Amino acid sequence: MPVFKHSFSPIRIFTGCAAIGIAVVIYMMLHPKLTVEPVPSPNQGVAFGTIFDLSNQSIAVLYRVSYTYCVNSLQTPSNIGEAEAGALRLETPSQSISLANLSRGDATALPILNAVNAPPGSEVDLVFAVRFQPESFRFLERRFRFLGTEDQDGTWIWKQVPLGSPCG
């Protein structure tokens, strides 16, 4: 009875490891890790008193980065006046805003262009849609949804929540 013998040459081992490594790099480039973090701002002119930072925590450089934001709802406490939303349109995405390319480990701010004055106790449901192109691949989009509540001292408290609203 013939015995089947495997031969593992160094070239076969190297080729197999290289193929696995290339597959992992391609996967990581097609699935970049992005985060959006709310950062309180002392500037009174900033919408919701918060600057949202977009961070690229992947191995790929992100090109042609742009984003839109959408306010699903803006509610005020029933015993206090309505929020002054200005040109803010509910459940309607903003115009696309272009940003610089985002290198590995870099961060940039996602400004909300319309200032919103709301009384303490107000709540907002906000969605960011970030569109980008990693290296030379197709455009990708990631969405981030936040619920914010304004404290009595004017500080906004944010919580990231799952998608599932009119804007995403």
Q: What are phi and psi of 2, to 5 degrees?
A: -70, 140
pLDDT bin (cut points 50, 70, 90) of residue 1 is low
Q: What are the CA-CA distances from residue 162 to residues 69, 81, 145, 166 (Å)? A: 16, 30, 7, 13
CA–CA distance, 87 with 163 (Å, rounded to integer)? 24
Query: What is the reported pLDDT for 81?
Result: 45
CA torsion angle 116 128 40 108 (round to 10):
-120
Tell whether the model's pLDDT for residue 119 goes beyond 50: yes
The sign of the torsion formed by the CA atoms of 133, 134, 139, 140 equals negative
Asked if 86 and 114 touch (Cβ cutoff 8 Å), the reply is yes
Q: How does residue 117 score in pLDDT terms, banded at 50, 70 and 90?
A: low
Tell me: the pLDDT tens digits for 67-91? Answer: 998 888 888 776 454 555 555 667 7
Sorted by sequence, the CB contacts under 8 Å of residue 12 that are 6+ apart come out as none
Distance CA 21, CA 74 (A): 47
Q: Which residue ranges form the domains of the chain, and what is each CATH number?
A: 33-161 (2.60.40)
Please indicate whether residue 73 or residue 30 has the higher confidence score (pLDDT): 73
- pLDDT over 90, % of the chain: 17
Average pLDDT over every residue of 44-69: 85
Strand order in the sheet with 107-110: 34-40, 50-56, 107-110
